[in-house]
Structures are given as C-alpha cells and as structure tokens.
Amino acid sequence: MQHDPAISEQLRERFPEAVVSASPGPIDPWIEIAPERLAEVAAWLKNDPAQDYDYLNGLCVIDYFTADKKLAEAVGAARLVVVYHLSNLSRKRQLTLKVTLPRWANAASETPPTLPSLAALWATAEWHECEAYDLSGVEFTNHPHLRRILCPEDWVGHPLRKDYQMPLEYHGIRGR
C-alpha cells in the first residue's frame, strides 16, 4: 500500500481550482480539496479507470479549535477538517483527501456546516458520515439517512467538538 506520488499533479491538472493545497509528507501525504468541488473530485477518483479508488477506508473530522492561548498558534484558525482515506485494492494505492469547513455555517444558531455526501459512491460513507455528523457535527447533504448513529437520537451537542460540554443531566442521569 503506497501513496501515489503523481496524484496531486494529476488532480491539479484535471481540477485546477479544486485543489487547495497538497502536502507531500513527511509521513502521509494529503491533498486538500475545496468543499464545493469534493463531489466531482471524488466521483472522478472513484470512476476514472486510471485512478479507481474503489475502497473508502473511512472518514473522520478533526476540530481545530482551542481556548488555550499557548496552543492557539499550533492549532491555527478555528476550522473543521474532514479527512477521507481512500484505497485502491487492486493497485495497492492509498490517498488522503482533506476538506476544510468552517466550524459552524452559522455560529449564532450553531447550524452545522454542510458537505456533499459520498454515500452514493462508496457505501462505506453512509455510516461513517452518520458518525461524523453525530460526533463532530458536519451535515452531509443528499445523505440517504443522516442520523445520530452512536449517540441517542435526542442527544444534544457533538462530543468530538473541542468545545463540547457534557450535559449536566440526561433524562435524570447525571452527566458530570
């Protein structure tokens, strides 16, 4: 299983405005995609015979946010990063895509940011997107059935957000 060194160039060539940035390493290289172009890039990666990334290992969300001044520099701007790990089983290639989103689409009403769902391309995404929605608060549009998959349906908040506060009480059960 190797990273394809040429993939970031191919992507830049094919979708010049989609590739925001690319990191060649030092350990795992990744490519950052503009959120609005994610769907077509993903479709190309899946369907193009030269790419054929047929296997979505998973996706997860990293919340860059801190109230700690000492860490503020390392964390950088407050944002959510959605990371997709793709593989091509036959050619033993892997690829990491990143998409940066604002922490809230509307901070005042705490409306979660949205991203197109990839469940139609990889069935794996269906449950993983539910998990990302549940734990990190990213809403996926066109998802067949976006729901809280691990937490109870009426849970408040997204536990993997850095500013998440465990509720004091949940149906009479002490939270903290």
Partner 1 sequence: MIWHSFFFALFAALACGFALAVVLTSNVVRMAFYLVLSLSATAGLYFLAGADFVGSMQLMIYVGGTLVLLIFGVMLTAQEEFIRISTRPAEVALAAMVGLALLILLSSAAFRVPAWRGDTPAERSLALTPQTVGPIAMALLGLRVDQAPPTADSPPNDRPGYVLIFEIISVHLLVVLVGAAYLARGRIGANSLVRQDPSQPASDLDDLADADPSGSELLEASQTLDSPAETGA
Partner 2 sequence: MQTSVEDPRVLEFDVRTDEMLVNMGPQHPSTHGVLRLVLRTDGEVVSEVTPHIGYLHRCAEKIGENLAVRQWIPYTDRMDYLAAMNMNLGWSLAVEKLHGYAPPERGRHLRVIIAELGRIASHLVGMGAYGLDLGSFSPFLYAFREREKILDLFEQACGARLTYSYLTPGGATADLPAGWTTRCLKMLDEFEPILPEYHTLLTSNAIFVKRTCKVGVLTADRAISYGVSGPVLRGSGVDFDLRRDGEPCYTQMYAGYDFQVIVERAGSYPATTGAPPPPPEAVLGDSWHRFYVRMLEVVQSISLVRQAIALYEAEEGLDHGQPFKLGAKLPVGETYLETEAPRGQMGFYLVSLGQPNPWRARARSSSFCNLSVIGEIGRGCLIADIPAIVGSLDIVMGEIDR
What is the distance between the terminal CA atoms of the chain, rounded to a whole angstrom?
44
**Site residues for partner 1, window 64-123 (CB under 8 A)?**
119-120, 123
Tokens of 52: 């054929």
* Backbone CA torsion sign across 18, 24, 25, 26: negative
Lookup result for tokens 């998973």: 58
Contact between 173 and partner 1 per CB under 8 A: yes
Q: CB under 5 to 8 A by kind: which of partner 1, partner 2, none does 171 bind?
A: partner 1
16, 53 Cβ separation under 8 angstroms: no
**Contact residues for partner 2, defined by CB under 8 A:** 1-2, 26-28, 54-58, 60, 62-64, 71, 74-75, 83, 85, 89, 92, 94, 96, 122-124, 126-127, 131, 135, 148-152, 159-160, 164
Q: Which is nearer to partner 2, 13 or 43 (CB)?
A: 43
Q: CB under 5 to 8 A by kind: which of partner 2, partner 1, none does 120 bind?
A: partner 1
20, 100 Cβ separation under 8 angstroms: yes
Lookup result for tokens 């054929």: 52
Chain residues binding partner 1 by CB under 8 A are 119-120, 123, 144-145, 147, 152-154, 170-173
